[in-house]
Amino acid sequence: MKLNRMTETMTGRQRVRATFEFEKTDRPPIGYEANGGIDRRLKEYLGVQNESHETFMRLLGVDYRRIAAPYKGPRLFDVPEGRQRDPLEGFIMRWVAHETGGYWDFCDFPLKDADDEEFDNYPVPSPDDFDYGAAAELARSYGGLFALHLGDPGVPDVINSNGRIMGMEDTLCHLILEDEAPMRLIRRRARSSLEIMERTLEACRGEIDFIWLGEDLGTQIAPMISLELYRKTIKPIQKQFVDLAKSYGLPVMIHTCGSSSWAYEDFIGMGVKGVDTLQPEAANMSPRWLLDHFGGRLNLRGCISTAGPLAYGTPADVRANCTDILEMMKPYGGYHFAPTHAIQDNSPTENVFEMYQTVYDFCR
């Protein structure tokens, strides 16, 4: 099977830059995030299973590429038997199988119920231990064809990233109570990420197009924390990253899961240009609601639900859903076509193909 793509008149870099400015483009920027099972099936469906992932991304028309400086420092964490462990953050995962495949789930939280000494001694990677020259070389290798970004939904991601090592309940309690040792670690980890980003930006000067941050702020029905707590503990950390991006003249997009639009006015006030994932099932997160409140003021990336027709409908349902969203977004500009979260393994391959075919057919 082959995607029937339209004639394109812009590069990915041109398209994404114009979209951040709400300018007219040949088509919306296209994003792709997927779990391993559906990623393999889609590659087989498109006949590129033996090709590189880059070949697949170009075939699909994905407009973004992430740039990161490789770590070259000492080993920071031991790996428990039967587990995976992130080499930089230290969170631990176990494999959980299910009927459509499986996933690595967080477990054995290393700082749950930890004392002050354990927090203060927890390893954080040194910004000196990254190969910024390699990041610059990678950025230049794309030849200006794609929109290059630093960061991702996990940066700085105070609640989630610390929840993976402290446990979510402990993390939220530490934030509310402002416990000194956990807060020292939270700020130490954020400073490390910020300096790594700044050094990478400097090494890749002129090559990077935007900064991608993340902070999950909502459940499906309500905010996860109060606006007061957000402004007191998380916003000051985010603002450091936003200010860094602004000093380089770069737009910022923030990934937010769940019902998170309650914080978007604060995002706009900081200078954030876009928000990502946008689960339409969550409270005050439907495409219509977001456009009514933020259309023309924030770029919107996502809105194609991974828990709706893409997973449970027919290809015709997927086409109708994607077309509705594209029609809704078109008058406002600033829309990036992408799934909410990674596409899950329970999504039929034909549905995922139809999702991407629809955006090309819509823009002919």
Residue 101 predicted with pLDDT over 90: no
Question: pLDDT tens digit string along 11-37?
Answer: 999 999 999 999 999 999 999 999 999
pTM as predicted: 0.97
- Domains of the chain listed by start with CATH number: 12-73+126-362 (3.20.20.210)
- Burial class of residue 221, CB neighbours in 10 A (0-12, 13-18, 19+): exposed
Question: pLDDT tens digit string along 312-338?
Answer: 999 999 999 999 999 999 999 999 999
- Helix, strand, coil in percent for the chain, rounding step 5: 45, 15, 40
Residue 98 predicted with pLDDT over 90: no
Provide the 3-class DSSP secondary structure of residue 17.
helix
When pLDDT is cut at 50, 70 and 90, the band that residue 202 belongs to is: very high
When pLDDT is cut at 50, 70 and 90, the band that residue 267 belongs to is: very high
The token pair that represents 1 in the structure block = 């099977």
| Segment 145-164 mean pLDDT | 97
Question: pLDDT tens digit string along 46-89?
Answer: 999 899 999 999 999 999 999 999 999 999 999 999 999 999 99
